[in-house]
Amino acid sequence: MSAPSEGEKAGPVSRTKGPVIHRQSVWTRLTHWAWVVCLFFLLLSGLQIFNAHPRLYIGQESGFEYDNSVFSIHAERTPDGGVAGITTVWGQRLDTTGVLGFSGGEDEPLQSRVRAFPSSVTIPSYQDLATGRVVHFFFGWALVGTMLVWFLASFINGHLRRDIVPRGADIRALPGEIADHARLKFGHGRSYAPLQKLSYGFVLLILFPLIVLTGLAMSPGINSAWPWIVDIFGGRQTARTIHFTVMVLLVGFFVVHVIMVLLAGPINSMRSMITGKYRIDAGEEGK
């Protein structure tokens, strides 16, 4: 068997390299990195806020006379006199000691170790709801502003229609695309692949607006001015639960996104999101 010729890449994929094209506009690149910063601070400050009341409910309210919680993280005493971290999901109890509910080193004070999420993943690291809310609201509105800029720019330059909204051909090509990914075969085309369109469209057109609207539904000021926002989610507590769930989905997307970038070629992908230049496969020039 002959060695790969010049321009081919050994590994999971062997494709002839094509030309370098300008793939990402300056608006796509700027908003992409703005989202990275916003979501980082929103996640860590959001976990700080969640720690103030680490329990999620379904409905308009919560109360002592009934239990409508669906998720909780807490610490409790064990029969041997120790402390365990317990996470409850739909009534199923999980021991999460050392990760959720009760974590930290043995040299730390007991009070600082009893936390839903550990200090290493919250802003600030110590329990401070007020500061967490200030950070969260600031970057929340920054996210909203960036979303508006991206949507307007993407609508004008055609990025939204061309690369985000899937077409019938994309849906039909989806089974083959999934099979290629399972075999670690990643193409480098002029436009986004079907799985990219579906995942980016799901995040940008569904998850982002949903996390903003559920966030607004938890605001007392918004509740007074626009109560219908609360009603469409079935109550403030349900909105809070959806808000938390969307956050988990966004974290999952981020993890998969980074893995895909590493597998498909990190240098090419990073160059695309920094300079806009992207090397495509040979034969993809006219597509």
Given phi > 0 = left and psi -120 to 50 = alpha, else beta, which region is 158? Answer: left
* 275 contacts 22 by C-beta, under 8 angstroms: no
In this structure, of 1-10, 177-186, 258-267, the range with the lowest mean pLDDT score is: 1-10
Residues in the chain: 287
E strand or H helix that includes residue 215: helix 208-217
Residue 217 C-beta-side C-alpha neighbours within 13 Å = 25
How far is residue 39's CA from residue 45's CA, in Å, rounded to a whole number?
10
On average, the pLDDT of the chain sits at 87
Note the pLDDT tens digit of each residue in 8-48: 343 444 457 778 888 899 999 999 999 999 999 999 999 99
What fold is seen in the domain 17-52+128-281? Fumarate Reductase Cytochrome B subunit (1.20.950)
In the sheet where 92-95 sits, what is the strand order? 55-57, 69-77, 83-89, 92-95
Note the pLDDT tens digit of each residue in 173-193: 888 888 888 888 887 877 888
| pLDDT value at residue 106 | 78
Strands (E), 128-256: none
Note the pLDDT tens digit of each residue in 198-257: 999 999 999 999 999 999 998 888 888 888 888 899 888 999 999 999 999 999 999 999
Domain boundaries, the chain: 17-52+128-281, 55-116
| pLDDT value at residue 22 | 87
pTM of the predicted protein model = 0.85
Q: Sign of the C-alpha dihedral, residues 196, 200, 202, 207?
A: positive
For residue 274, what are the contacts with CB-CB under 8 A and spacing of at least 6? Answer: 29
* 197 contacts 226 by C-beta, under 8 angstroms: no
CA nearest 46: which of 112, 109, 138, 173?
Answer: 138
How far is residue 77's CA from residue 283's CA, in Å, rounded to a whole number?
65
How far is residue 111's CA from residue 102's CA, in Å, rounded to a whole number?
10
| pLDDT value at residue 287 | 55
| pLDDT value at residue 283 | 62
Q: What percent of the chain has a predicted confidence (pLDDT) above 90?
A: 57
